[in-house]
Structure 1
Amino acid sequence: MDQLLALRVFVRIAEAGTFVRAAESLNLPKPTVTKLVQSLEAHLGAKLLQRTTRRVSVTPEGAAYYERARVLIAQLEEMDATASSTRTSPSGRLRVDIGSSLANVILIPALPDFRARYPDIQLEIGVSDRPVDLIGDAIDCVIRGGELADSTLVAKRIAELDYVTCASPDYLARFGTPRHPAELETGHQLLNYFSSLSNRPFAPVFVKAGERLETAAQAAVAVNESTAHVTALLAGLGIGQTFRFIVQPLIDAGALVPVLTDWSRPKHPLFVVYPQNRHLSARLRVFVCWVAEVFDAIQPATGTPRYPRT
């Protein structure tokens, strides 16, 4: 038995919750994963995992063994990184998950710079506005906005994003231009965004000189994906609030028109998030630093990237 590999396999199963997901993340055949765990349990004379038809959970003995195995593997990786050029030339797979608009407007256009700096890192970018299981899905980090409810995650704030309230010229020609947020509750169509995690709608919020208003009107249309939200704005389906970095080029082109410009919505915090118990590898460390640079380059006044587009 390769005990070190068996330890890695056991830790991955404990985190992923299934043999199949663990095998896929380690690029190993499922029979090999099963055999390694069986050999490890036989070697220890203890049952580490409790298997059911749907999921695998750790036994009390397995939970104690997992904690020490996780620390040991992290220490070994740190030793390898110190003794090799990994710390200066990071390499290997890095899985990142990010929302659609952030990926298409900011992250992906900036990636040539990251590839030039770290050519040996193989990036896998999951693009979705839906919540993900970092541990179970073997994702190294996610880039997400809003305050975080999960206290077991490490979150590094990388930006604060501006909002803009806008609508299409066609919509404004049909319904008129509101002069006060209260007007949105009568005679206007609201285009809202709702959470893909909780299904909670995010009603438009307006702040001015210490006064805060939240529109209580029912939305005519609501979507839970940022790119679709912008598409709906362009289609004239209503007035909505969205991130300025997404729509500024459309505003500059006249395809969307800002309204209620003397009112603002509080800025939206943006974080790069990774598991608290995940060893911060050299490749993850350099990505976190790099992505902070990219989002730091967003101009506070407009919320649009400073870096040139290709």
Structure 2
Amino acid sequence: MDRFEEMRNFVRVVERKSFTKAAGDLLIPRATMTNSIQRLEARLRTRLLDRTTRTVVPTLDGEAYYRRCVDILAELEEADGIFRRTDPRGLLRVNLQGTLARKFIIPRLPEFLERYPCIDLMISDGDRFVDLVHEGFDCVVRSGGLSDSSMIARRLAILREATVASPDYIARTGMPETLEDLKTQGHTMVCFLSGADDKPIPLDFTVNGTVRQMMLPASISVTSADSYAACAYAGLGLVQVPRYRVADDLKAGRLVDILPEFPPDPMPVSILYPQNRQLSVRVRVFVDWVANILAEADI
């Protein structure tokens, strides 16, 4: 095993805080991973990792060596991509927002894999906050505002949003014609909790080019996009969702468009990756491919 493989193994152990998870990511036996780190520490004549029964953390020397390894491995992959001109290859771990993935990305994956047959994809989807480094993801695609300054973000698209409710809900509460009607008629909202701190997201409406935020009473709060939309169908209150998601239901009358003249602020879609590393070739081609798909989509 050469030094670059040892570096790669060490970096993955630090990021995953586990020999077992790191070995699984790199598709090697755990014993091979353990022996690799032992040889590395013996060659450098220093302890790089502190091991406990629950986790693995770098020592001070290990933290310094980790930062250098990340830079060196990124430069090496970049150089290989330029001069060898081989197809991108290896395992690519991505985390996608679930609805966006199922609607636009997953149906087009066959063409991506045909174009890049040497890339193996591991896809996780959901709406929760993820720690890219410690959970072992190469990149994450998310919609909505971004608050994690430790990540580099590239905007991929802008989603038009709609305020919607079920016909039964409107029959009970009334159809609002102004923003003031939302309060005078006694409207309620489904509260969407976002981010690691489960912060409630207010409804927002664009009035003469200015976004006005509003909180309405809510008897239910959710943390997933699927549950959020399901609450609207169940007549539990107003929700604001990407228009592409409810376009068919609006046409069929299963949902009602509320105050379309005051649309929600469009929602950005971004891809994030750690700022302490360059984009690998396989991540770069995936990012560009997703950007092209969303540029072509009716969103």
TM-score, structure 2 normalization: 0.91
Gaps of 5+ in 2: none
Equivalents in 2 of 1:238, 1:142: separation in Å?
A: 30
Q: Deviations over 1:158-213 (max 9, x none)?
A: 11111101111222122221112222234223223221522111121122115543
Cα separation, partners in 2 of 1:154 and 1:229, compared to 1, 3 Å: same
Equivalents in 2 of 1:26, 1:205: separation in Å?
A: 44
Greater shift, 185-194 or 168-177, is seen at 185-194
Mapped pair 1:283 → 2:293: no
Greater shift, 40-49 or 180-189, is seen at 180-189
Equivalents in 2 of 1:32, 1:92: separation in Å?
A: 18
CA RMSD of aligned residues (A): 2.0
Mapped pair 1:227 → 2:198: no
The answer to whether the 8 Å contact 2:194/2:201 transfers is yes
Letter in 1 for 2:191: N
Tell me the percent identity: 40
Equivalents in 2 of 1:92, 1:298: separation in Å?
A: 28
The answer to whether the 8 Å contact 1:157/1:272 transfers is yes
The answer to whether the 8 Å contact 2:163/2:238 transfers is yes
Cα separation, partners in 2 of 1:267 and 1:82, compared to 1, 3 Å: same
2:20 aligns to what? 20
Letter in 1 for 2:11: V
Greater shift, 93-102 or 63-72, is seen at 63-72
Matched residue SS, 2:133:
coil
1:65 aligns to what? 65
Equivalents in 1 of 2:160, 2:248: separation in Å?
A: 14
Gaps of 5+ in 1: 304-310
Alignment of 1:85-124 (within 5 A): 85-86=85-86, 89-124=87-122
Q: Runs ≥4 in structure 1, deviation > 6 angstroms?
A: none
Equivalents in 2 of 1:212, 1:90: separation in Å?
A: 43
Cα separation, partners in 2 of 1:240 and 1:148, compared to 1, 3 Å: closer
- Measured after TM superposition, the shift of residue 254 of structure 1 is 1.7
Q: Deviations over 1:206-265 (max 9, x none)?
A: 221155433232212222111221122112222221111111121122211101111122
Matched residue SS, 1:236:
coil
Equivalents in 1 of 2:114, 2:214: separation in Å?
A: 46
TM-score, structure 1 normalization: 0.88
- Measured after TM superposition, the shift of residue 110 of structure 1 is 2.8
The size of the alignment, in residue pairs, is 298
- Measured after TM superposition, the shift of residue 35 of structure 1 is 2.0
Mapped pair 1:169 → 2:167: yes
1:260 aligns to what? 259
